[in-house]
Amino acid sequence: MEDNSKGYWSATLGLLGKILVIWFLVSFGAGILFAPLLNGISLGGYPLGFWFAHQGSIYVFIALIFYYGHAMGKIDRQFDVHED
């Protein structure tokens, strides 16, 4: 039981780490740090850095929520702690 719970939390924290890295890169990276580089590309008539800062990051965050729910469901089933 102890090994199973350590594996479960290891998988859960690994997933959270990956999601937080993507969240940081999209919100802080694309919206602030890489904005001057991305502004050379247009999306819908707006510079891409501006688009990420105002709309694109929200779309990515929503996608991350759905991905997290799906991935946690798989982890729960893998370690047999899922809800029926």
10-68 pLDDT per residue, tens = 999 999 999 999 999 998 988 889 889 989 999 888 898 888 888 889 999 999 999 99
Band of pLDDT at residue 71, cut at 50, 70 and 90 = very high
Read off the pTM.
Answer: 0.82
**Quick one: pLDDT at residue 1?**
62
Range 31-38, long-range pairs (CB < 8 A, 24+ positions): 31/57
Torsion over CA: 58, 64, 66, 69 (sign): negative
